[in-house]
Amino acid sequence: MATTAPDTGEGGTRRDFIFVAATSAAAVGAGLAVWPFVNSMNPSKDVLAEATLEVDLSPIEEGQRITVLWRKKPVFVDHRAPDKIAEAQNTALSDLKDPQADADRVQRPEWLVMIGICTHLGCIPQGQRVGERLGDFGGWFCPCHGSHYDTSGRIRKGPAPTNLEVPPYSFVNDTTIQLG
Amino acid sequence: MAGGPSREYNNRLIRWVEYRLPIFSAVEATIGRDMPTPKNLNYWWSLGSVLFLALIIQIATGIFLAMHYVPNGAMAFDSVEQIMRNVNYGWLLRYVHSNSASLFFAAVYIHILRGMYYGSYKAPRELLWIIGVVILVLMMATAFMGYVLPWGQMSFWAATVITNLFSAIPWVGESLTTWLWGGFAVDSPTLQRFFSLHYLLPFVILGVSLMHVWALHVHGSSNPVGISARSKQDTIPYHPYYTSKYMSVIGIALIILAFLVFYEPNFLAHADQFKPADPLQTPPNIVPEWYFLPFYAILRSIPDKLGGVIMFGGSIAILFLVPWLDTSRVRSARFRPTYRYFFWIFVLNVILLGWVGAQPPEGAALVIGRLATAYYFAHFLIVLPFVGWFERPRPLPESISKPVLKSGTPAAEAAE
């Protein structure tokens, strides 16, 4: 212990420094070692391999809504009738909880494509099948906690914070879209 | 967890082990066979033993169910049907497991209400109470993940709704839910990790429960009059007096469990649970198991996603603060004429919330739910602090044995 620097009383000794350095290194090492465990719970590569999906629009009649499964999520495709389009376009943005113009949500007004998952807590809103509730605004209604969506899939009433999400898609030709 | 041997053991083998590893005395110091216990404990104090029984039943049946269950989205539902139809006594193991979960929660809620009525959480037992709330949270997580495993419709949508609670957290919510799911929706990876955690957490609960008992035995049980034991006259040994009393309560609990298992095994189940999980079809009215209904009602009564999640978490988290929110120095509600009424209003309000939680979220149920939610928090934030200040408590007895032994003339002495 002859080589140990004398304790000046203000700073620490060499031994204190080594103690702090070793403890910090061990803490950083432990922190780094946690990451593989945490990251193993993130989506695996096969899940991440983004599937794209082509949807044939030609058999969908005006006023008809269909549901397709894309990346294990339901996607609503709605062939909107002119009155529904007008209703969506004529809604004042000030009436909206999550203001977004109908034109920003569609590529062609007659085709509304959205991820069919309520933005509240992830239920599938009703309105895709004949006879289901459409909610107070003629769009969709989530039965779990009572969120109402309008004919553009925008949240109008209830606990959901945002509009139904529009997935990335493109028109391959006039009657086919590709999701993803 | 004291060290040295506190007693001489007659059995030579026990003596041999004790000399090398003082495990018997350590267990006795913690579990407290001879622990002096207030002699006036009523039946509301017996739920702890029922809870330990329920935990052991759950672990035992769960280990054997896990030998047959397949935690995979494609096979989980069928493997549960396999357990029900083909595995020898599989139906019994599963029905005991699912109904015993209800017994577990019924007992824990009565246990908690006992603590609230008799002020068991007051100094020096605050940490004991906090450990108890930790156990409640662990139980809720375990029960929720267990409910997902059969991979029925309610499993799937309960998992979806509850995991989506985390998406309300600003900034990190989206990536956090993706991380929880191991994908972009609830799916097989979610199911598999839930199975892993559902197997792990009961053992964590067991460990924390031992801490709960350890903390309990530092200052001993509270009691219905809420004053500490002062003399030997106030206490009796735990064994055989309370062991025999609690055995009778365990018998009643087992009769209730057996009735449910053998006569009404699906009384507390939901019809949608008999349909395999379908990610494309949400059941019209998602309801959780009965023991989550009051909290679910609180979640749904807030018309804002983040707000609902905060209130939902807050409704449980606020229990941690109860020892400091209650300002009264008198423990037992027996001597608190005002608090006593508020306690029962609180109980009725929670039952009302449970009813609201089972209704579709619209119309009168929504309004009632909001009022009941407001009252739930008002009980903790307004009633507990203010009643403690304004209330004039009734005079406390001098000792535990005074009210037990009738107006100060000890019956035991009279008999001698």
The per-residue DSSP string of B93-114 comes to HHHHHHHHHHHHHHHHHHHHHH
Neighboring chain B residues of A146 at a CB cutoff of 8 Å:
300, 360-362, 366
How would residue B35 be classed by pLDDT, with cut points 50, 70 and 90?
confident
Q: Considering only CA atoms, which of B392, B413, B389, B384 is closest in space to residue B401?
A: B413
How would residue B407 be classed by pLDDT, with cut points 50, 70 and 90?
low
Residue B188 amino acid letter: S
Cβ(B250)–Cβ(B49) below 8 Å: yes
Mean pLDDT, residues B337-360: 95
- The first and second tokens of residue B193, run together, are 């990790």
Relative to beta strand A155-157, strand A169-173 is unpaired
Known catalytic membership, residue A145: yes
CA distance B387 to chain A (A): 35
Output B405 or B82, whichever has higher pLDDT.
B82
Residue B28 has pLDDT above 90, yes or no: no
Residue B7's pLDDT is what?
64
Q: Identify which of B164, B308, B362 has the shortest CB distance to residue A122.
A: B164
On average, the pLDDT of chain B sits at: 91
Residue B223 has pLDDT above 90, yes or no: yes
Whether the CB of A127 is below 8 Å from some CB of chain B: the reply is no
Neighboring chain B residues of A123 at a CB cutoff of 8 Å:
157, 160-161, 282, 286
Residue B409 has pLDDT above 70, yes or no: no
pTM above 0.90?
no
- The residues, ordered by sequence, that sit 6+ positions from B307 with a Cβ below 8 Å of its Cβ are none
Mutation for A interface: B153, B162, B164, B312, most A CBs within 10 A: B164
Q: Is B282's CB within 8 Å of A71's CB? A: no
CB burial of residue B336 (10 Å; 0-12, 13-18, 19+): buried
Mean pLDDT, residues A13-40: 93
Residue B415's pLDDT is what?
39
CA distance A28 to chain B (A): 23
Cβ(A5)–Cβ(A16) below 8 Å: no
Output B34 or B138, whichever has higher pLDDT.
B138
Write the pLDDT tens digit of every residue in B77-113: 999 999 999 999 999 999 999 999 999 999 999 999 9
Residue B330 phi, psi (nearest 5): -90, 130
Residue B289's pLDDT is what?
94
Whether the CB of A68 is below 8 Å from some CB of chain B: the reply is no
Neighboring chain B residues of A165 at a CB cutoff of 8 Å:
none
Output A52 or A37, whichever has higher pLDDT.
A37
Estimate to the nearest angstrom the gap between the alpha carbon of B31 and the chain centroid: 20
How would residue B411 be classed by pLDDT, with cut points 50, 70 and 90?
very low
**CA–CA distance, B196 with B141 (Å, rounded to integer):** 13
**How large is the angle between the packed helices B363-378 and B305-317, nearest 10 degrees?**
40
Of the residues A79, A120, A145, A148, only one is catalytic, namely A145
Residue B179's pLDDT is what?
94
Write the pLDDT tens digit of every residue in B127-142: 999 999 999 999 999 9
Residue B412's pLDDT is what?
44
Q: What percent helix, strand, coil does chain A show, rounded to 5?
A: 25, 25, 50
Q: Is A72's CB within 8 Å of B187's CB? A: yes
